[in-house]
Amino acid sequence: MKIKMLVAALLLSGGVTGAFAQTDNCKAQSSISHEAVRAGNFRDAYAPCMEVLKNCPTLRYYTFVDAQKILVNFLGQIKDRRSADYKKYFNELMQVCDLRMKYIPEFINSGMKGVPSVADALGAKAVDYIQYAPTPDLDTAYKWLKESVRTEKGKSKGAVLHYFLDVSMQKVKANVNHTDQFFQDYLEASKYVDDAIAAEPNRQKKGVLQSIKDNLVAMFIQSGVADCESLQKIYGPKVKQNQKDSAFLSKTIAVLKMMKCNESDVYFQASDY
């Protein structure tokens, strides 16, 4: 019995020692990779950073930020998006995004400050996907962006709101049946920014938010899909179908006003209802 207890104690001791050794190694690799990233030496930062994410993903949150910087740098240096190296680094970038979203709740629950929400990280993943995917899929990007924006609302990053409306606009060009949804996406994103502007006391930050709003307005007007004739065709039947839905009617009137279609039949009909 004493021999069995001694063996168990030795095994337990060895396991604890091994765990401490791995943690110490992770801390060393984390310091090496982080300093290399700060120095702009992404090549030397790559291997130790990936090792930390593999063995100790919750050691430090900035490891995910460093990994994103490293992989984006690599992707930016490869001209052929069809190459094996490009696809490898892009897939790793998406994996880093997924791993970050997986462990964000753990970082937040530990009381760490400055950690974004999962929805914010999803928006960041969507932006990276659009910018770096060899062949981005509009439906995939739109799904992620929409989920992020609808969760974050007025806290959404400017880039996420920009690409949300941009991808929605591209979907219209691919399928005209998405036009009505594009208008609703604009109203939704615009409202979130308006709410954020109204709630922001800092003048400088308020100015940044106003720039985001101005950019959304410009994108909507320049989309080429919003004229009085097309709006009449899109909203004419819908207004009649939704004549008791005040929220829908208000949104419709807001779009028509913004596009200066105040003299259209659909505007008068929506206003009457």
pLDDT score recorded for residue 67:
98
What's the rounded Cα separation, in Å, for the pair 196 and 154? 5
Res. 10 pLDDT band, cuts 50 70 90: very low
Q: Which of 38-47, 166-175, 255-264 has the lowest mean pLDDT?
A: 255-264
How confident is the model over 171-180, as a mean pLDDT?
90
- 231 vs 4, higher pLDDT: 231
Q: Indicate whether 9 pLDDT > 50.
A: no
pLDDT score recorded for residue 27:
94
What's the rounded Cα separation, in Å, for the pair 127 and 145? 8
Say if CB 127 and CB 136 are below 8 A apart: no
Q: Indicate whether 26 pLDDT > 80.
A: yes
Within a 10 A sphere around the Cβ of 138, how many other Cβ atoms? 16
Res. 251 pLDDT band, cuts 50 70 90: confident
How confident is the model over 20-30, as a mean pLDDT?
83
Q: Which of 8-12, 121-125, 206-210 has the lowest mean pLDDT?
A: 8-12
Closest CA to 89 of 69, 104, 103: 69
pLDDT score recorded for residue 11:
45
Residues 140-166: tens digit of each pLDDT: 999 999 999 999 999 999 999 999 999
- 139 vs 225, higher pLDDT: 139
How confident is the model over 9-20, as a mean pLDDT?
48
How confident is the model over 45-61, as a mean pLDDT?
96
How confident is the model over 85-103, as a mean pLDDT?
98
Average pLDDT, the chain: 89
Q: Indicate whether 16 pLDDT > 80.
A: no
pLDDT score recorded for residue 14:
52
pLDDT score recorded for residue 3:
52
pLDDT score recorded for residue 8:
47
Percentage of the chain surpassing pLDDT 90?
A: 66
Residues 200-213: tens digit of each pLDDT: 999 999 999 999 98
pLDDT score recorded for residue 176:
86
Instruction: Output the six-digit token pair for 201.
Output: 């006391």
Residues 214-232: tens digit of each pLDDT: 898 888 878 877 778 877 8
- Transcribe the chain into DSSP letters: -HHHHHHHHHHHHHHHHHHHHHHHHHHHHHHHHHHHHHTT-HHHHHHHHHHHHHH-TTS-THHHHHHHHHHHHHHHH---TTSHHHHHHHHHHHHHHHHHHHHHHHHHHTT-TTPPPHHHHHHHHHHHHHHH-SS--HHHHHHHHHHHHHHHGGG--HHHHHHHHHHHHHHHHH-GGGHHHHHHHHHHHHHHHHHHHHH---HHHHHHHHHHHHHHHHHHHTTS---HHHHHHHHHHHHHHTTT-HHHHHHHHHHHHHTT-TTSHHHHHHHH-
